[in-house]
Amino acid sequence: MPVAERTPQTLYDKVFQAHIVDEKLDGTILLYIDRHLVHEVTSPQAFEGLEVAGRKVRRPDCTLATTDHNVPTTSRKSLKDIASFIQEDDSRTQCVTLEENVKKFGITYFGLSDKRQGIVHVIGPEQGFTLPGTTVVCGDSHTSTHGAFGALAFGIGTSEVEHVLATQCLITKRSKNMRIQVDGELAPGVSSKDVILHAIGKIGTAGGTGAVIEFCGSVIRSLSMEARMSICNMSIEAGARAGMVAPDEITFEYLKGRPLAPKYGSEEWNRAVAYWESLKSDPDAKYDIDVFIDAKDIIPTVTWGTSPEDVVPITGSVPDPETFPTEAKKVAGRRMLEYMGLTPGTPMEDIVVDKVFIGSCTNSRIEDLRAAAQVVKGRKVAPNIKRAMIVPGSGLVKEQAEREGLDKVFTDAGFEWREAGCSMCLGMNPDILSPKERCASTSNRNFEGRQGAQGRTHLMSPVMAAAAAIVGKLADVRKLAQFQGSPHIEAAVAPEPTSGKAHADERIETDDTEKEHLTDQPEDSSPQVNTSILRGGAAGLPKFTILRGIAAPMEKPNIDTDAIIPKQFLKTIKRTGLGSALFYEMRYLENGQENPDFVLNKEPYRKAKIIVCTGANFGCGSSREHAPWALNDFGVKSVIAPSFADIFFNNSFKNGMLPIPIRNKDDLEKVHAEAVAGREIEIDLPNQLIKDQDGNTLCAFEVEEFRKHCLVNGLDDIGLTMQLEDKIAEFEKKMSRETPWLDGTGYLKRKGMGGKLAVKAAPLPKTNRGDVKTEPLEW
């Protein structure tokens, strides 16, 4: 028996190991992907790439698409088709493009007329598409949600979406193992959202960088699948590649009867359960990082700043940045308070709220709505609240909630009851904050401008958001409701058949109001230049060897991808033309003029080819590949920083760009000093050196062999992977033998299951691996 099999393994190790198709000497791994979720924002360029290269989707049966980010959450009573339903041009184009692509490539799709439509991370689990022990990816950072099932689930960029569509594999490397153990019992009024906010407050938004977090301990074991999903969802906010929870009885119970899970009671189900049970970490498995949390230290938590790590118990007050440990932290803290319109020392419970949003892939599941309704029942939304919205995560969640009468509880109190979608989590649709409006939100990101330009977001749990709506201020839910245990420990039941009639919402906003909200958005000033793509297909990438140029200095930590390229520019279906929108909020003033204080508006940095940032965790947050595209389009080909968020790091390489992590402070300072002085620097990739303009070496840097090889030679890694066809096919045969429940044609052969396909999939295509099975296995 090989040694590797005897070494104690973690849950992550086991799932990862089971999906290795090929491993290179430098640790680069070709990983097989079982489940691929697709949405409209991060897929158009990937499909375009496939088409240009004449490639097919390898496993349409393992791919599920929906539209969620751009869709209005108003009543769909008058819905004819998506093209006439979506008013905003760019949003419509993205949704229509997805519909064209799913038809063209034969992919199962839940469109707006399908009750199964919803946020991609809500519908995957709901359908049983997400299963324990699988690898799950999506062009979306919150794919980490699916880790609640003991799946290895992570967000990828658009180039990787294309890679998975074409090859069903990804090029990756091993992550570190991190364990967050939460023991004890959650106090009444404390929910899983408080657990994860508390954990992020403790380890910071870069705390999980390079790691996969396994959540364990008695608290996690007692949580329902919904609650576990909320926790894994926000692993990405802790900087981790993924979050995982070992599958157990609660997991199996949740999966029973889900349309795409193996049929309960069948031989396949029993075989699957036996396999799933074997996945839990070995008792003596080693973790690189260990964090312990005592449940009694967690009380209802809210954020005060513009990063998810800026948390404070609701009983606390706004912190004073002058007490922060470093000068950089003080500067960042002052800026946050100014942005948030807060004064140090203000009790959190004194902060008046304008809007309340209960929704998003973190907290829009049935249990979240039940918990919020428990607080709201028999009460009224405070008069100062301009808008309180409930946005169910999927059409099925909405329907279930209506069966339970929750819609009535909410609307009686003065909430709006909306249709499913991402909504005000990031406001790519008309649901946004107006400038300076303050929102109590159950979403996951409080970045500047996230819910609308200059909007102010406080993150919290559904019961806390419900309490804020009732009180009109941030409020301690424990003062409002009597809880019998945690609001989240009830295990969920599988959905009932989807035959019920969709609830017709009469209390929706008029289109005029929506238009008014839309005008809050900054104009898209970015010229969407020609249709050429930067990469993909046979075209390959520009080669990267020596880069010489001006380097722009930056100092901020946690520069997130929302800041690099805000949401209103994600609606493009091209990879180019985003340069003028780079760092939009920092670069332009409210009147649209350039901000003279921003580094890229100063000479000589207008022509910068490199960014040198002394703040850690560059590119955190969303998986949007639009961030490297925007940098690239501006002319920046390399970013140097102490550390990077994983997805941004990967995305950069896929676009022929070189992100350089320099952890040594002195080395980084030398490079930063050259940047501050406005002198050119030289990045010599073949020799892995950074030099000053006279050719003197400032420092050396590290880069993985395979990535370097691809950059220096301008290689298209999809082409490289396709050369491994034999290995992939062999791996698929093995998987079909060992985990047959993962094969099949899914919904492609199951029209009429729980609703019709809104867009008919094309006839079953011949896939890259040959004909799909004619007889679907029992799903």
Which residues lie near ligand IPM (CB under 6 A)?
41-42, 69, 140-142, 155, 426, 570, 622-624
Residue 69 is a binding residue for ligand SF4 (CB under 6 A): yes
The least distance separating ligand SF4 from the CB of residue 677, rounded to whole angstroms, comes to: 40
Residue 373 is a binding residue for ligand SF4 (CB under 6 A): no
CA distance 275 to 133: 8
Q: CB-wise, 130 or 360, nearer to ligand SF4? A: 360
Residue 146 is a binding residue for ligand SF4 (CB under 6 A): no
Q: CB-wise, 247 or 308, nearer to ligand IPM? A: 308
The least distance separating ligand SF4 from the CB of residue 417, rounded to whole angstroms, comes to: 18
- By CB under 6 A, the count of residues binding ligand SF4 is 11
CA angle 324, 325, 327 (to 5 degrees): 85
Q: CB-wise, 368 or 716, nearer to ligand SF4? A: 368
Q: CB-wise, 40 or 716, nearer to ligand SF4? A: 40
The least distance separating ligand SF4 from the CB of residue 69, rounded to whole angstroms, comes to: 6
CA distance 681 to 384: 55
CA distance 228 to 220: 7
Three-state secondary-structure class, residue 770: strand
Q: CB-wise, 92 or 176, nearer to ligand SF4? A: 92
Residue 177 interacting partner from ligand IPM, ligand SF4, none (CB closer than 5 to 8 Å by kind): none
The least distance separating ligand SF4 from the CB of residue 388, rounded to whole angstroms, comes to: 18
Q: CB-wise, 42 or 364, nearer to ligand IPM? A: 42
Q: Tell me how far apart the 2 most distant CA atoms of the chain are, in Å.
A: 74
116 touches 394 (CB < 8 A):
yes
The least distance separating ligand SF4 from the CB of residue 591, rounded to whole angstroms, comes to: 29
Three-state secondary-structure class, residue 292: strand
Residue 361 is a binding residue for ligand SF4 (CB under 6 A): yes
Residue 119 interacting partner from ligand SF4, ligand IPM, none (CB closer than 5 to 8 Å by kind): ligand SF4
Name the percent of the chain in helix, strand, coil, to the closest 5: 35, 15, 45
Q: CB-wise, 161 or 761, nearer to ligand IPM? A: 161
Residue 155 interacting partner from ligand IPM, ligand SF4, none (CB closer than 5 to 8 Å by kind): ligand IPM
590 touches 718 (CB < 8 A):
no
Residue 624 interacting partner from ligand SF4, ligand IPM, none (CB closer than 5 to 8 Å by kind): ligand IPM
- Of 45, 360, 363, 614, which lies in the binding site for ligand SF4, with binding defined by CB under 6 A? 360
- Of 48, 61, 99, 140, which lies in the binding site for ligand SF4, with binding defined by CB under 6 A? 140
The least distance separating ligand IPM from the CB of residue 624, rounded to whole angstroms, comes to: 4
The least distance separating ligand SF4 from the CB of residue 137, rounded to whole angstroms, comes to: 14
Residue 235 is a binding residue for ligand SF4 (CB under 6 A): no
Residue 572 interacting partner from ligand IPM, ligand SF4, none (CB closer than 5 to 8 Å by kind): none
Give me the DSSP letters along 346-383: -BGGG-B-SEEEE-TTTS-SHHHHHHHHHHHTT----T
**Of 374, 306, 356, which is closest to residue 465 (Cα–Cα)?**
356
HSE-CB at 705 with a 13 A cutoff on CA atoms is 6
The owner of tokens 């405070």 is 382
Whether a cis peptide bond, with omega within 30° of 0, leads into 596 is no
Residue 360 interacting partner from ligand SF4, ligand IPM, none (CB closer than 5 to 8 Å by kind): ligand SF4
The least distance separating ligand SF4 from the CB of residue 337, rounded to whole angstroms, comes to: 25
Residue 142 is a binding residue for ligand SF4 (CB under 6 A): yes
531 touches 96 (CB < 8 A):
no
Alpha helices in 210-248 (DSSP H): 218-222, 225-233
CA distance 486 to 638: 47
Residue 101 interacting partner from ligand SF4, ligand IPM, none (CB closer than 5 to 8 Å by kind): none
Interface map 650-689 toward ligand SF4 (x if CB under 6 A): ----------------------------------------
Q: CB-wise, 425 or 647, nearer to ligand SF4? A: 425
Residue 444 is a binding residue for ligand SF4 (CB under 6 A): yes
Interface map 100-119 toward ligand SF4 (x if CB under 6 A): -------------------x
- Residue 609 makes CB contacts below 8 A (sequence gap 6+) with 547, 548, 549, 550, 551, 635, 636, 637, 638
Q: Is 343 left (phi over 0), alpha (psi -120 to 50) or beta?
A: beta
The least distance separating ligand IPM from the CB of residue 54, rounded to whole angstroms, comes to: 27
CA distance 11 to 471: 43
The least distance separating ligand IPM from the CB of residue 41, rounded to whole angstroms, comes to: 4
Distances (CA, A) of 238 to 177, 261, 561, 646, 675: 14, 30, 15, 12, 30
Residue 311 interacting partner from ligand SF4, ligand IPM, none (CB closer than 5 to 8 Å by kind): none
For residue 427, give both structure tokens.
């406001």
CA distance 173 to 651: 14
Residue 95 is a binding residue for ligand SF4 (CB under 6 A): no
Q: CB-wise, 308 or 313, nearer to ligand IPM? A: 308
The least distance separating ligand IPM from the CB of residue 445, rounded to whole angstroms, comes to: 6
Return the number of other C-beta atoms located less than 10 Å from residue 253's C-beta: 16
Interface map 396-425 toward ligand SF4 (x if CB under 6 A): --------------------------x--x
Q: CB-wise, 114 or 732, nearer to ligand SF4? A: 114
385 touches 475 (CB < 8 A):
no
CA distance 119 to 40: 11
Handedness of CA 520, 523, 524, 526 (dihedral sign): negative
The residues that touch ligand SF4, with contacts defined as CB under 6 A, are 69, 119, 140, 142, 360-361, 422, 425-426, 443-444
